Structures are given as structure tokens and as C-alpha cells.
């Protein structure tokens, strides 16, 4: 295996006719991390996933999944993956349990182990009581959860999930988030997650990449993408106007931006610079009602990067 | 082989939930079991249906029909159903090799067709026995020629239709188109067979050869199909 990397993209591109769906992707995903793959509809996320599992041949460049090429060593790679595609693809004529037994047989588990794993997986997604029901009667969210349970059956080293939370209610979104976080903590398992839920991605991903029109726009820690690593605080002031605040003596590298009303945003070079700013405000007889450490949300940064172009 | 068995296990589980399949199967078997006996009895009286060897072979043809109808329906359906429900996509993400996915479908369709043929035969024998009394109704199995038609040609033909139906459905997205192409391709192979049947008259070697040719063509097409349909191309077919 390639040391610390679960997935390595090397100049990966894929064209369909004249349309370029994925263009020159060049990055890697560390072992044991939760990686968020974000981007507007049609950005190329699903196409990338398909190439990762060896369902689609790259037009250019290559991928290494768990150190191997999914095209030439497909069976080796796929036997170590748990995959959930955007269309979950469950067998409607079979029961929930039968769907999972099939996955367990594919993974070549023994009879006793199949039993245990199926039970555990169904319990994990709260579908144990529905195990004998035919999937054709399942709601969209139940299907998503069953698809997730199926991806977990073989205890894969790498989970590749294409929008696993699509169609889930808020309580189930939280359930899936917690499930994924606990899965990631188990023995170095990596998770590659395509999602449109930016707040969820920010909460659970170690790193995220934002893709648009097949190109990588940015990649990094979701909590620092927007602020580019600079700490910021949000200040709520009383008394004092823009003029007064604007003339304050601030520590080196610190800046204050008016957000409208009594709200201000301070960016500082280091966390320790916040205290002198508050002291300066108080000295200038400007009341400080609240000082709240702020993270530029992933959503703000996403919208800034992707722009109104796609109405993302 | 274990992977092929895994997919076959899944297919058999699915049959029980598939009403349409169960109806086609039951109707084909019943019709092909009862119809020839009734028509023969109607035309030439009850005894003719059990004594003439031509009558026996005529019934043999119906056994083949039962196989063709059932396989011609089942083979494309096994693939199309997986495409519509996106489960073929799922199968492609698993460690299952291509030959297990498609091989299992071909084998299951073949087995179902052969089973239909044997059941139709059983019903024919039963119906002949009821109409014509006991004794001569085993005639078709008493003739070596009859045995080759019943056991040999029905096997070769079932396998051929299973292969064609499976691989055609992988390429043709629409159900009716897939059935049509499967039935047409059966027709293409049946023409020389029927021409030979009429001109060469029914000799044992000829019928035996025909059975083997069906089988050989089926195996050949199956191998070609496996080479053509690699999983990295199927995604494109899936989205057409
Ligand atoms: N088989 C195909 N043939 C032609 N074009 C395709 C094919 N598959 C994908 N594309 C194109 O590639 C581009 C990327 O599609 P993709 O499905 O990867 O987007 P996505 O990021 O997964 O979008 P979404 O968020 O809507 O799921 C789109 O423009 C799409 O039309
Ligand atoms: Mg997608």
C-alpha cells in the first residue's frame, strides 16, 4: 500500500464525447480520514466515484485505491470497498434481510458470520424490526439506510458513499452522521463522502474538496477553508459608531469589518490579540455585549467559490 | 464457481417475488403440456395421440416451445430488471467478477427453461395417459429420436436462448426490443434446423447434431459475450 494514502488521484480526467466531466484531478485522501467531496449538480462527483470503483475507465490519468489500480486489479480493490451509489440499487423483490444476506454471500462470509453481520448492520440503521419486509414497500430514507447497512456488511477498509443522506429526515441525518463518525474511528477506516449537506460535511469531514465543472476549486480543512486559517471573532457592540471604532489602535495584523447594525467581525493574527481589541473598545467607551469566536462556514465559502453561476 | 452460486441464489430468491414470471412459467408449461395432446386427440381420435411416432415428435416440438417461451422471457427480464432498479450498478461495485454476474444469469435462465420443458413433457404424458389410457403414452421416450429431441434439443435450445437473451438485454435497454431480438435470433438459428428437418427427414444423427450445434453456438456466443461486455463499458450502456 501507498503508505498513508487511501486514494490517490493522478491527473484524472474523464470525457463523454466532447463534454469533460472530470478534469485533471490531482489530490489524495489519507488513510483513516473522512473526506468530503462537494460540488454542484453535474460537477463530476459520481463520475469520479465510478472511476474509483472500476466501473468507468479514465480518459486520462490514473487512480490508486488502497494502493492499487481499480481497473486492472478490480476484484482486489472492490473486495475491500463498501460502496453506496447515488441510486442505491436494492432488490425490491427481496426483503431487507435478504438484500444484506446477498451482500454477505458476495463477501464470502461463512453462514454463522453472515447471520451476525446482517443482524448487527440492520440494528445499526434501526431496520431490524423491518427485516422481513419487502424492500418495494420501503420509503426513500429507509432505502438509503439499508443501502448504507449493505455497504458496511463486509467491514470494508474504505467506504465510498455517494449522497448517503439524500432523502433522510433530520433525525436520521444525525444518526447517519454519528454512524459515519464512529465507523471512521474504527481501526483506520477511511470514508469518501459525496454530499450536498455542507453543515454535515463541516462537522464530520477532516478534509473536503470542492469540485465544479470537473475541476478542483479548493481542498482543505472544512473549518479553515473560508478563513484561510486566520482566527476571527464576531463582536456585538453598543454605543460607539463606525467612526469611533474605525480609529481604534489595533494590534499588528488585526482588522475590524462592519457587518451592519452593531455587528463587527475582527480578524486577528493570533487568538491572543482578541483581548487587546476588547480592551481598546472598552477604553474608547464602546460597550461590548458579546464576543463570539467565529468560523466562516463552509457554506459561505462554498457559495463564494461556486458562485451564483450554478445557483448552487 | 462460488460467486456464480451466490448470484444464482439471489436470482432464485427473486423468482418467488416475481408474479409475472410465475404466470408466464405456469401458462407456458400448462399450455404446451395440454394443447398438443388435445389437438391430436381431436384430429385423429384418442388412440392416434398415443400410438403414432409422428404424433410423439409433434408433441416433442411443444416441449421445445415451452422452453423457448420461458427462457425468451426470463433471460432478458433478469438483466432488464437489474438495469431498471439500478441493481446492475450495485453488482458492478461488488467484488463479483463479470463472468459470475452474467454466467449465473445464463445458467439460471437455462435451468428454468429446461425445467419448463420437463414439466411440459410430464403434463403431456399425464394428459395422454388420461385420454388414451395407460401403456403407449411413453412412446415419445421409447423412441431414441424422441429422447434426443426432448432432452438434447431442449437443452441446446434453452442454453442458446439464455445466452442471446442475456447479452441482448445488456445492450438493448427496452424490454420489448430485447424480447424481439431474442426471438428473432432464435428464428435465425431455427430456419436451417427446420429446413433440415423437412429435407433430410428426421434421422437420429441429424437431430443429435442439431442438438449439439445449438449447444456449441450457445457456448461460443456466451464466450464472445463475456469478452465484449466488460464492466467498465456497461455504465455507458446503462445511461443510454
Ligand atoms: N454516461 C454518461 N454519458 C454522458 N455524459 C455523462 C455520463 N455520465 C455523466 N455525464 C456527464 O458528466 C457530468 C458530471 O456528472 P456527474 O453525475 O458526475 O455529476 P455529480 O457531481 O455526481 O452531480 P449530482 O450532484 O447531480 O449527483 C455531467 O455533465 C453529466 O451530464
Ligand atoms: Mg452524483
Given the C-alpha cell 428464428, which residue does it identify?
B187
> Would A66 be classed as within a structural domain?
yes
**pLDDT tens-digit profile, chain B (240 residues):** 889 999 999 999 888 878 888 888 999 989 888 887 777 666 655 554 445 566 667 777 888 888 988 998 888 889 888 988 899 999 999 999 988 999 999 999 999 999 999 999 888 888 877 776 554 555 667 777 778 888 888 888 899 889 988 888 888 767 777 778 877 877 887 777 777 666 666 677 777 887 888 888 889 988 888 888 888 877 777 665
Backbone dihedral angles phi then psi of residue A232, each to the nearest 5 degrees: -135, 150
**Does the CB of A140 have a partner CB in chain B at under 8 Å?**
no
Give the per-residue pLDDT at B130: 78
Rounded CA separation A156/A172 (Å):
22
Tell me if B86 and A89 make a contact (CB, 8 A cut-off). Answer: yes
Q: How far is the CA of A163 from the centre of ligand 2 (A)?
A: 7
- A63 and A113 housed in the same domain: yes
Q: Which of A154, A157, A210 is nearest to A30 (CA)?
A: A157
Q: Which of A220, A241, A270 is the last residue of a domain?
A: A220
**Interior angle at CA B111, CA B129 and CA B221, nearest 5:** 125
Strand partners, A15: A20
Beta strands in A39-122 (DSSP E): 60-65, 81-84
List CB contacts (< 8 A) between A47 and chain B.
none
Mark whether A210 and A282 lie in a shared domain. no
Both A187 and A280 in a single domain? no
Is-contact A183 A161, C-beta < 8 A? no
Q: Considering only CA atoms, which of A227, A248, A228 is closest in space to residue A237?
A: A248
Lowest mean per-residue pLDDT among A40-44, A110-114, B136-140, B207-211 = B136-140
Could you tell me if the CB of A47 is within 6 A of ligand 1? yes
- Both A187 and A245 in one domain: the answer is no
Same domain for A247 and A202: no
Is residue A244 assigned to a domain? yes
Write down the ipTM of this complex.
0.85
- Does the beta carbon of A167 sit less than 6 angstroms from any atom of ligand 1? no
Q: What is the rounded CA–CA span in Å between residue A162 and residue A153?
A: 17
Query: What residues of B are in contact with residue A79 (Cβ under 8 Å)?
Result: 95
Please state the domain extents for chain B.
2-239
With an 8 Å Cβ cutoff, are A106 and B94 in contact?
A: yes
Half-sphere exposure of B174 (CA within 13 A, CB side): 4
Which of A224-233, A235-244, B37-46 has the least mean pLDDT? Answer: B37-46
Identify the DSSP state of A55.
S
Per-residue model confidence (pLDDT) at position A20: 93
Per-residue pLDDT reduced to its tens digit, A160-183: 999 999 888 898 898 888 888 888
Same domain, residue pair A58 and A201: yes
Question: What is the percent of chain A with per-residue pLDDT over 90, rounded to a whole number?
Answer: 54
Cell of B78: 433478469
Considering only CB atoms, B232 lies closest to which of A57, A83, A98, namely: A57
pLDDT at A108: 94
Phi, psi of A165 (to 5 degrees): -95, 5
Q: Say how far apart CA B169 and CA A174 lie, in whole Å.
A: 41
Contact residues, chain B to chain A, C-beta under 8 Å: 2-3, 6, 9-10, 13-14, 16-18, 85-90, 92-97, 231-232, 234-236
A7 beta partners: A29, A65
Domain span at A129:
5-220
Q: Provide the pLDDT for residue A308.
A: 59
Q: How many domains does chain A have?
A: 2
* pLDDT of A310 over the 60 cut: no
Chain B closest CA to A271's CA: distance in Å?
A: 47
Residues A52 and A116 in one domain: yes
Nearest to B9 among A56, A78, A105 (CB): A105
Backbone angles phi, psi at B101, to 5 degrees: -65, -50
pLDDT value at residue A69: 95
Are the beta carbons of B88 and A89 separated by less than 8 Å?
yes
This prediction has a pTM of 0.84
* H/E stretch holding A266: strand A263-267
Q: How far is CA B61 from CA B24, B49, B58, B206, in A?
A: 18, 14, 5, 16
- The closest-lying atom of ligand 1 relative to the alpha carbon of residue A196 is 25
Report yes or no on A254 lying in a domain: yes
B16, B95, B232 member nearest A106 (Cβ): B95
The secondary element (H helix, E strand) that includes residue A259 is strand A255-260
Of all protein residues, the one whose alpha carbon is nearest to atom 11 of ligand 1 is A21
Q: Report the gap between the CA of A54 and the closest CA in chain B (Å).
A: 6
**Same domain, yes or no: A11 and A55:** yes
Amino acid at each position: 500500500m501507498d503508505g498513508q494514502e487511501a486514494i490517490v488521484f493522478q491527473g484524472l480526467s474523464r470525457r463523454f464525447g466532447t463534454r469533460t466531466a472530470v478534469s485533471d484531478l490531482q489530490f489524495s485522501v489519507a488513510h483513516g480520514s473522512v473526506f468530503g467531496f462537494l460540488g454542484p449538480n453535474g460537477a463530476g462527483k459520481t463520475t469520479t466515484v465510478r472511476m474509483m470503483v472500476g466501473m468507468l475507465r479514465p480518459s486520462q490519468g490514473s487512480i490508486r485505491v488502497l494502493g492499487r489500480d481499480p481497473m486492472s486489479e478490480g476484484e482486489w480493490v472492490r473486495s475491500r470497498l463498501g460502496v453506496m451509489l447515488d441510486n442505491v440499487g436494492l432488490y425490491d423483490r427481496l426483503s431487507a434481510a435478504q438484500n444484506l444476506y446477498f451482500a454477505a454471500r458476495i463477501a464470502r462470509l461463512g453462514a454463522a458470520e453472515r447471520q451476525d453481520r446482517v443482524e448487527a448492520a440492520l440494528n445499526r440503521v434501526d431496520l431490524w424490526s423491518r427485516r422481513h419486509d419487502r424492500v418495494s414497500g420501503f420509503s426513500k430514507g429507509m432505502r438509503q439506510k439499508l443501502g448504507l447497512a449493505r455497504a458496511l456488511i463486509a467491514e470494508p477498509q474504505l467506504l465510498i458513499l455517494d449522497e448517503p443522506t439524500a432523502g433522510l429526515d433530520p433525525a436520521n441525518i444525525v444518526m447517519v452522521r454519528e454512524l459515519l463518525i464512529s465507523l471512521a474511528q474504527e481501526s483506520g477506516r477511511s470514508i469518501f463522502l459525496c454530499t450536498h449537506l455542507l453543515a454535515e460535511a463541516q462537522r464530520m469531514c477532516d478534509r473536503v474538496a470542492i469540485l465544479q465543472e470537473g475541476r478542483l476549486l479548493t481542498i482543505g480543512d472544512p473549518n479553515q477553508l473560508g478563513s484561510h486559517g486566520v482566527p476571527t471573532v464576531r463582536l456585538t457592540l453598543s454605543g460607539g459608531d463606525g467612526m469611533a471604532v474605525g480609529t481604534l489602535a489595533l494590534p499588528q495584523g488585526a482588522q475590524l469589518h462592519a457587518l451592519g447594525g452593531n455587528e463587527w467581525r475582527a480578524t486577528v493574527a493570533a487568538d491572543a490579540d482578541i483581548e487587546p481589541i476588547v480592551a481598546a473598545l472598552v477604553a474608547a467607551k464602546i460597550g461590548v455585549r458579546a464576543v463570539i469566536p467565529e468560523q466562516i462556514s463552509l457554506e459561505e465559502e462554498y457559495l463564494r467559490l461556486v458562485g451564483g453561476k450554478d445557483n448552487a | 464457481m462460488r460467486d456464480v452460486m451466490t448470484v444464482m441464489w439471489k436470482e432464485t430468491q427473486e423468482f418467488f417475488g416475481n408474479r409475472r414470471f410465475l404466470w408466464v412459467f405456469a401458462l407456458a408449461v400448462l399450455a404446451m403440456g395440454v394443447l398438443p395432446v388435445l389437438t391430436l386427440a381431436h384430429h385423429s381420435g384418442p388412440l392416434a395421440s398415443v400410438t403414432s411416432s409422428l404424433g410423439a415428435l409433434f408433441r416433442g416440438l411443444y416441449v421445445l416451445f415451452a422452453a423457448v417461451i420461458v427462457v425468451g422471457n426470463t433471460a432478458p427480464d433478469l438483466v432488464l430488471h437489474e438495469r431498471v432498479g439500478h441493481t446492475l450498478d450495485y453488482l458492478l461495485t461488488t467484488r463479483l467478477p463479470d463472468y459470475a454476474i452474467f454466467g449465473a444469469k445464463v445458467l439460471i435462465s437455462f435451468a428454468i427453461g429446461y425445467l419448463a420443458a420437463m414439466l411440459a413433457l410430464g403434463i403431456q404424458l399425464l394428459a395422454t395417459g388420461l385420454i388414451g389410457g395407460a401403456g403407449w403414452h411413453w412412446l415419445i421416450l421409447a423412441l431414441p429420436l424422441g429422447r434426443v429431441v426432448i432432452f438434447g434439443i431442449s437443452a441446446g435450445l434453452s442454453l442458446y436462448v439464455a445466452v442471446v437473451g442475456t447479452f441482448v438485454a445488456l445492450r438493448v435497454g427496452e424490454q420489448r426490443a430485447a424480447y424481439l431480438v431474442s426471438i428473432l435470433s432464435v428464428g435465425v438459428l431455427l430456419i436451417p434446423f427446420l429446413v433440415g428437418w423437412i429435407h433430410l427427414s428426421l434421422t437420429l444423427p441429424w437431430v443429435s447434431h442439431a442438438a449439439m450445434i445449438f449447444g456449441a453456438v450457445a457456448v461460443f456466443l456466451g464466450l464472445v459475450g463475456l469478452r465484449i461486455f466488460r464492466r467498465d463499458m456497461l455504465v455507458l450502456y446503462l445511461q443510454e
